[in-house]
Amino acid sequence: MQADPVALSKTAQRLRRISLISTTQAGSGHPTTCLSSAEIVAVLFFHEMRFDPKDPRARNVDSFVLSKGHAAPILWAALREAGAISEDPTTLRAFTSPLEGHPTPLCPWVKIATGSLGQGLSASCGIAWARRHDMLGARVYCLMGDGETAEGSVWEAAQFAAHNALDNLCAVVDINALGQSGATMLRHDVEAYARRFDAFGWNSVIVDGHSIAELIGAFEKARAAKGRPTVVLARTLKGKGVGFLEGKEGWHGKPLKKGQELDAALKEIGDPNAAIDVRPRRYPTAPAPVADRREPAAPTYQAGQEIATREAYGNALVKLGAVNPHVIVIDGDTKNSTFSEKFKAAFPDRFIEAYIAEQNMVGIATGLAGEGKIPFASTFACFLTRAVDQIRMAAYSRPPVLVLCGSHAGVSIGEDGPSQMGLEDIAIMRAVFGSTVLYPSDAVSAERLTAAACAAQGVVYIRTTRPKTKLLYPNTEPFPIGGSKVLRRSDRDRLTLVAAGITLHEALEAHVRLAQQGIAVRVVDLYSIKPIDSATLREAARETRAILTVEDHSVHGGLGDAVRREVDVPVAMLGVREIPRSGAPRELLETHRISATAIVEEARRVLS
């Protein structure tokens, strides 16, 4: 659109006015951070960005990510003034309104939920990567706060964007010098910010964040820059436009009071008559790949073969990639252990190396999911827990599907020791709203469940193990999410053993030993921990009257706790109860009482 500095300046004032009114009406919110970014938002939405106000799902348009999510009021104001939403901004934070206190997909213009600071840039990297991969030409703008640059995830994203030459990404840092409880680390030292971004390989542009002309020029430079991302470092004043708020501490997250306080602020802001017509502007659309609806090729393992579930995961990725061009695989420098390297070899243009930056990896996956991709992100289970905040925010972003794979889980990895053993991951992933938690025990189930993850919804977690395990199932065996497998049963069963992963093999061995002692037990493969097969568990509880769970995971919050919630009979639980140490896998299984020997002993104790 043709730049009209006067109209844009009036629009910024109008956005300030709406932000003040809506936060006061709500009785909560963050008006001062909206005031500092008013010119930035006005220039982006009413001049710089190419988008269609009537089509929030369009991909051949520019995207906006509000990483400083507490500035949501000005986002809602801008969308309303641009004709993109019909909701009244004064419904901000109301229970029945999609205009929440921080951006969520309840508003269709929000692809990425924000509000936990330091995450928007990672998600923007995922969006920018997807746009470039699909040859759309569209750009991504990420508005950040200066305070959130203290988060390490910001710099994980910064180095990723530069390394991948994401020149369709433009970050804007609103440097207003004030955080929640005091001044920010660098205050108004914009040159220090520039040196840091420059060191990471970015194109830095310093501007007066309240100058319409300088902002327009900065975005022109960003659009012209090739081969590296651009950051616009905007020096601003928190509370800009209202004298008793400008640059003052103690106003973060504090709305103005109705009456004299609000009236005085609005009088100073004025009531500009600004109406910029935002007309649809799109980029030429490149043909989008169409997903082949064929099922991936079936497993082809041989009877008696031993193969690790982590390797079967890699095999499954290749087969999925062959039939679904939307599958994108990301790994955190563990691809030769998670076997995602198999996908890289087959489809290098759809593989992303995230390096040792797990928070950024999950953030990228969230951005990819928002673009309609099916991301599979993998690393060791223990390292994935480093990104718990990103995982929960991914769930709040309501992705169609986002798959995480944690390998090398449990004490069964052996000598590497406790720092490398994922022992808390099931508990964490079960707690994520809307999540699916899958735990295959052999190669066939691993392949089938990896394929099934594509058809799931939300965040899906697949737990794989390091050691090779024997095949338990024929290649044709189905594994629907929410199911389980009863591997051993009889009318004489007095106890049910419930396990998954490495301990399922121990439970099967325990079944043999107990049978030799004249004790009949049932064995259930609980490959789907969430959603869980309540019917099978309740039937087993009713028929055997007791359940013993065994898992290579902390005894707290894992498979055992999941089972205990579903049945009304005693549930004995075997799991890891103390911090492990290095040792041989068999030695550790025995020490932590999750081996076949321990299962036999515990089963006899329960039955006695």
- Residues taking part in catalysis: 358
Q: How far is residue 427 from each of residues 395, 534, 557, measured CA to CA in Å?
A: 16, 18, 4
CA proximity to 36, closest of 219, 184, 155, 168: 184
Helical ranges in 66-169 per DSSP H: 72-81, 120-133, 152-163
Task: Indicate the burial class of 605 (C-beta count within 10 angstroms; 0-12, 13-18, 19 or more).
Answer: exposed
Type of residue found at 590: E
Pick from 221, 218, 171: nearest CA to 193: 171
Evaluate whether 300 touches 326 at the Cβ level (below 8 Å): no
E-only strand ranges, 193-293: 203-208, 230-235
Separation between Cα atoms, residue 559 and residue 608, nearest integer Å: 24
- DSSP states of 567-591 as a string? -SS-EEEEEE-S---S--HHHHHHH
* Structure tokens given for 124: 């923007």
Query: Other C-beta atoms within 10 Å of 152: how many?
Result: 11
- Phi then psi for residue 593, to 5 deg, are 55, 45
CA atoms within 13 A on the CB side of 125: 30
Q: What is the DSSP string of 282-347?
A: -PPPPPPPPPP-SPPPPP---TT-EE-HHHHHHHHHHHHHHH-TTEEEEESS-HHHHSTHHHHHH-
Instruction: Tell me how far apart the alpha carbons of residues 506 and 295 are, in angstroms, rounded to a whole number.
Output: 33
Tokens of 18: 């709406």
User: What are the φ and ψ backbone dihedral angles of 21, each rounded to 5 degrees?
Assistant: -65, -45
Q: How far apart are CA 238 and CA 177, in angstroms?
A: 7
CA separation for the pair 106, 116 (Å, rounded): 17
Which residues make Cβ contacts (< 8 Å) with residue 553, sequence separation at least 6? 409, 410, 422, 423, 424, 425, 426, 427, 559, 575, 576
* Inter-residue contact 331 to 375 (CB < 8 Å): no
254: Cβ–Cβ under 8 A, 6 or more apart, which residues? 31, 32
DSSP state of 113: -
Block residue for tokens 């997909």: 105
Burial class (CB in 10 A: 0-12, 13-18, 19+), 227: exposed
Position 291, amino acid: A
Which residues are 173's β-sheet partners? 144, 233
- Phi, then psi, of 2 in degrees rounded to 5: -70, 130
10: helix, strand or coil: helix
